[in-house]
Amino acid sequence: MDRPKIAVFSGPTSTIANSPSLVTSNKGRAAGERILPGRFDHLVAQSLYEPVTVRIKKFSAHPMEEDAKDVYFDDGKDYYEVELRPEDGPYLMPYLARRKDGSGPGVPFEAGDMTNAAMEYGGRQTFYPDASRVFADIDRGIAGRDEHGEVNLLDRKAEFEFIRALPPAGYTQQGEKAGVDYFPYQPWPISRRARYSDLARATNIVQRTLAQIGLAGAIWLEGSPTVEETSYWLNLLIDTQLPITCCASQRTHGQLANDGDRNIVDAVEVILSGETGGMGVVGVQDERIFAAREFKKADDRPGNYKATGGHGGILGTVGPPVTVWYRPNYKHTATSDVNLTRLPADVIFTDMTGDTSAVSVRVKDSGGGLLATAIPRVNIIKQASYMGEDDSSNPDQEVDILARIAKALADQSNPDESSPKLHGLVLEGTSPYGLGSTSQMAAMAIAVYSGLPVVRVGRSDPGGRVPGFMHDLSIAGSNLDANKARLLLMASMLKLGRFPRAKDPRNPTSKEKDALLAKIAEFQEIFETH
C-alpha cells in the first residue's frame, strides 16, 4: 500500500538539524596523544565500507536477559552471528578520522577545533544540508525507539521529500556560500542569518512544493529562536489547505535528551492524524500544537515554548491520540487576504495626497513568484521609561526614527529597481496602549506623513488588544507581539503599498490627514482579521 508523502523543508540556523562535533575516538589516537576520558570510547553513527560478519554476545542487550534465559531458544552457542551490510544504514562505531596538520599521520580532531580561528574553525560543518540524515538516524534506532521497542518510527508511516529551502549547511566544494546558499549559526564568527530577500525564496519554494499533487502535508525545520517568525509568515503567505507543521529543537541531534527528534516524529503524527487540515501553520513542540500566530520561544530549554497574546494559542496535544481542542479564528493560508495567490502582481497606490498618477511596485515575477526586491523593510522601535532627554515632545530627539525615515525616502527615490520601495515601523510601546514617549509619538507622526505605515503593539507579550482610539494616525496591532506585527505589516504592504505622503510631514493639512486615515482603515481591516 502506498504511504502518504510529506515534504520536509530545511530552514536556517537549525539546531534540530545539527549534531555535536565529530571527535576522533581513542581507537583512532596514537600513543602520547590525549586520551578521551571515561570508560567508553567515542562512537558515531557511520556506514560500513563492506559487508562484515560479527559475533554478538548473548544476553548483553539488557541486564535482565540472562535472568530469563530459560525462555530463550538455545542453539548451544554463547553468541549470535550476523552479516552487517553497508545498505543497512549507519551503525554506531568508533570515529577514526584525523585532521591533517603537515605531519604524516595527522592529529586527532577535537571539539575545540570548531572554535579555533587559526584553523578556520575546523574547516567542517556540524549542520546537515537537509533532514535526510536526521530522519535516517531516528529510523535506525540510534536516536530512539517507539513505546513497543521497534524502530523505523518515520519510514513505517510515510515517504518524505527533503527540500533545501534555506538550509543550515551547504556544499562549499560545489561553490555554495554561507549567507547566500545556506545559513549556519555556529561557530559564531562565521554564522549567517537569513535576510529580507530570503523570505521570498522560502515563500516560493514552499508554495511551489505544496502545489504538487499527492502531498499529505509539510514540515518546516528551523532554529528555535526564529521558527516562530517563519511559521507566521508562511501562515500568512502560503495558499494551501494542507497541514504545515513547524519544528525546532533546544538541543542538538545526538545530544543527551535531544527534543528535536521527538518533535519531528510528533509532527508526522499530527499531519497524518488529519486533525490539523485547514488550520493553517502550526508549531509542534514538546507534545503541544501551537497556532502560528501565538507561537513563541520563552527560554532555551525543552518545554519552553508558549502562547502569546493572553488567550488561546495552544490548539491541542500530540497525545496519543492527536487531539485538537481549538481551531484558529483568524484568517490564514488559503483564507488569508495576503497569501501569495491574492497578492497583486504590482501593488499600486497614491504616493502623495493629491497625486493624479499612482505609483506601482512590482511584487511578483512572471511566474507568480514573490520577488525578493519587493519585500518591505520594517523596523521595530521600543519604548521604555526614563528614556527622554526632556519633556519638550521634540521629535528631533528621536534620531533613530528620523534616520529610518530618511533611509526610506532615499530608497524610494533611488531609480535602481533593487532598492526597496516599501518601508514601515512597529512601535513596541506601553501595554495595552502601544504608546511611546511624547517625542517618539511626535516622530512617529512625521513617519506616517512621510508615507511609512506605523503599527502600535504592547510591550513583550500583550495580553489584550491595543485600542485604536489612543492614536488614530497608526495601525492598532491587536494582541500581536512586535515580531508578528512586523511580519503582518510586511505582508499587508505587499497588498496595499505605502501611506500617502504629506507635502510637509511636520505640518499636514486636514485633507492630507483624511487621505491618511482612509488608508489606515485598509491596513486596520487586515490587522483585525489575521
pLDDT at 98: 95
Tally of CA atoms within 13 A in the half-sphere of 496 that contains its CB: 27
Better-scored residue on pLDDT, 189 or 470: 189
* Domain residue ranges in the chain: 5-20+127-333, 26-119, 343-529
User: Out of 45-54, 388-397, 408-417, 445-454, which region has the weakest mean confidence (pLDDT)?
Assistant: 388-397
- CA–CA distance, 224 with 411 (Å, rounded to integer): 33
Sheet containing 454-458, strands listed edge to edge, beginning at the edge strand earlier in sequence: 377-382, 423-429, 454-458, 475-476
Compute the 3-state secondary structure of the chain and give helix, strand, coil in percent, each to the nearest 5. Answer: 30, 20, 50
pLDDT at 210: 97
Percent of the chain with pLDDT strictly greater than 90:
79
pLDDT at 143: 61
Nearby residues of 441 by Cβ (< 8 Å), 6 or more positions away: 393, 435, 471
Torsion of CA 329, 342, 373, 161, to 10 degrees: 70
What is the CATH T-level fold of the domain 343-529, as seen in this structure? Rossmann fold (3.40.50)
Of 185, 245, 187, give the one whose Cα is nearest residue 218. Answer: 245
* Cβ atoms 40, 26 nearer than 8 A: no
Q: What is the mean pLDDT of residues 168-176?
A: 95
Torsion of CA 400, 402, 406, 408, to 10 degrees: 70
pLDDT single digits (tens) 368-401? 999 999 999 999 999 988 877 777 789 999 999 9
Q: Look up residue 114 and give its three cell numbers.
A: 570548531
pLDDT at 205: 98
pTM for the predicted model, two decimal places? 0.95
Alpha-carbon Rg of the chain, whole angstroms?
27
- CA–CA distance, 443 with 506 (Å, rounded to integer): 9
Q: How far is CA 75 from CA 65, 152, 368, 371, in A?
A: 16, 29, 67, 68
- CA–CA distance, 245 with 288 (Å, rounded to integer): 11
- CA–CA distance, 282 with 270 (Å, rounded to integer): 10
User: Out of 139-143, 155-159, 266-270, 356-360, which region has the weakest mean confidence (pLDDT)?
Assistant: 139-143
Sign of the torsion angle spanned by Cα atoms 358, 363, 368, 371: positive
DSSP string, 256-310: TT-SHHHHHHHHHHHHHHTTTTTS-EEEEETTEEEEGGGEEE-SSSTT-EEE-SS
Q: Sorting pLDDT into bands at 50, 70 and 90, what band is 187?
A: confident
- CA–CA distance, 217 with 269 (Å, rounded to integer): 11
Q: What is the mean pLDDT of residues 401-428?
A: 96
- CA–CA distance, 239 with 1 (Å, rounded to integer): 29
pLDDT single digits (tens) 290-305? 999 999 998 888 888 8
- CA–CA distance, 403 with 62 (Å, rounded to integer): 67
Q: What is the mean pLDDT of residues 263-277?
A: 96
pLDDT at 472: 83
pLDDT single digits (tens) 55-71? 999 999 999 999 999 99
Q: How far is CA 26 from CA 30, 37, 48, 56, in A?
A: 8, 9, 19, 22
Of 197, 208, 297, 196, give the one whose Cα is nearest residue 246. Answer: 297
5-20+127-333 in CATH: which number? 3.40.50.1170
Better-scored residue on pLDDT, 191 or 238: 238
pLDDT at 309: 80
Helix axes 260-273, 132-140, angle to 10 degrees: 90
Percent of the chain with pLDDT strictly greater than 70:
99
Mean pLDDT of the chain: 93
pLDDT at 1: 60
Hey, which residues does 283 pair with through a beta bridge?
246, 290
pLDDT exceeds 80 at position 408: yes
pLDDT at 142: 66
